[in-house]
């Protein structure tokens, strides 16, 4: 039985790394193939265009890393406020690890790509919006549960989740601009103030899971 080709997965991973470290517009098909060690003919065997590869790469990132991370963070076995604390730990630790592994803080890959392609690449931007909505949906569902338990008193969980997500992405972008993961650490207190609860995440020893 012939060995299973890893070319498609290598293309997905190369695309993710390239557009996260640089930008979508600056990356060519030739550069992706070189980075993935895949022939250009093989690229077009799997994907019709760079856009199609980028969409598939974001779906791959969601399925292999983001969704498992969110399933762990927002596990129903954790009380709602403990989920928020775990989220803050994860978000900060990812920034620290990114700086260590990549040489600088790169922010949220979905948000970065979405901001760049919102007008020029509608299919890609739509994929980003769908994924970011899933993140925000986890926040909103947890706020509803925290309300029901009496942990917080929030009149509009959907609107509050929107504010929390904007705060998180804004801090991540600031961390990217300044190459400083401490910009992410600082928003933990603000997160708690927005929901009216005292959160005590362990931002010193937390380990990221994805």
Instruction: Tell me the three state secondary structure of residue 26.
Output: coil
What gap in Å lies between CA 131 and CA 66, rounded to an integer?
9
Residue-by-residue DSSP string for 124-163: HHHHHHHHHHHHHHHHHHHHHHHHHHTS---S-HHHHHHH
**Helices (H) and strands (E) in the chain — how many of each?**
11, 0
Instruction: Find the domain containing 65 and state its range.
Output: 52-195
8 belongs to a structural domain: no
What gap in Å lies between CA 13 and CA 35, rounded to an integer?
9
What pLDDT is recorded for position 179?
95
Per-residue tens of pLDDT for the chain, all 210 residues: 334 479 999 999 999 999 999 999 999 999 999 999 999 999 999 999 999 999 999 999 999 999 999 999 999 999 999 999 999 999 999 999 999 999 999 999 999 999 999 888 999 999 999 999 999 999 999 999 999 999 999 999 999 999 999 999 999 999 999 999 998 888 888 999 999 999 999 887 544 433
Predicted TM-score (pTM) above 0.85: yes
What pLDDT is recorded for position 72?
97
What pLDDT is recorded for position 2?
35
207 belongs to a structural domain: no
37 belongs to a structural domain: no
What pLDDT is recorded for position 66?
96
190 belongs to a structural domain: yes
154 belongs to a structural domain: yes
What gap in Å lies between CA 62 and CA 59, rounded to an integer?
5
What pLDDT is recorded for position 209?
38
What pLDDT is recorded for position 3?
43
Structurally, the chain folds into a number of domains equal to 1
CATH number of the domain residue 68 falls in: 1.10.357.10
93 belongs to a structural domain: yes
204 belongs to a structural domain: no
16 belongs to a structural domain: no
């Amino acid at each position: 039985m012939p060995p299973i080709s890893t070319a498609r997965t290598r293309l997905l991973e190369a695309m993710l790394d390239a557009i996260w470290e640089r930008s979508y517009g600056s990356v060519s098909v030739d550069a992706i193939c070189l980075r993935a060690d895949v022939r250009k003919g093989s690229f077009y065997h799997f994907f019709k265009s760079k856009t199609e590869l980028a969409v598939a790469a974001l779906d791959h990132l969601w399925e292999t890393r983001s969704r498992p991370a969110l399933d762990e963070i927002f596990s129903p076995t954790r009380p709602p406020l403990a989920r928020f604390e775990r989220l803050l730990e994860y978000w900060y630790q990812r920034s620290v690890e990114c700086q260590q592994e990549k040489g600088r803080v790169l922010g949220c890959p979905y948000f970065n790509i979405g901001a760049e392609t919102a007008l020029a690449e509608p299919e890609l931007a739509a994929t980003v919006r769908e994924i970011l909505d899933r993140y925000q949906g986890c926040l909103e569902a947890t706020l509803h549960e925290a309300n029901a338990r009496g942990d917080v008193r929030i009149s509009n969980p959907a609107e509050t989740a929107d504010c929390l997500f904007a705060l998180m992405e804004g801090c991540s972008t600031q961390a990217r601009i300044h190459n400083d993961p401490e910009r992410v650490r600082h928003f933990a207190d603000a997160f708690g103030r927005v929901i009216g609860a005292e959160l005590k995440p362990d931002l010193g020893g937390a380990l990221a899971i994805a």
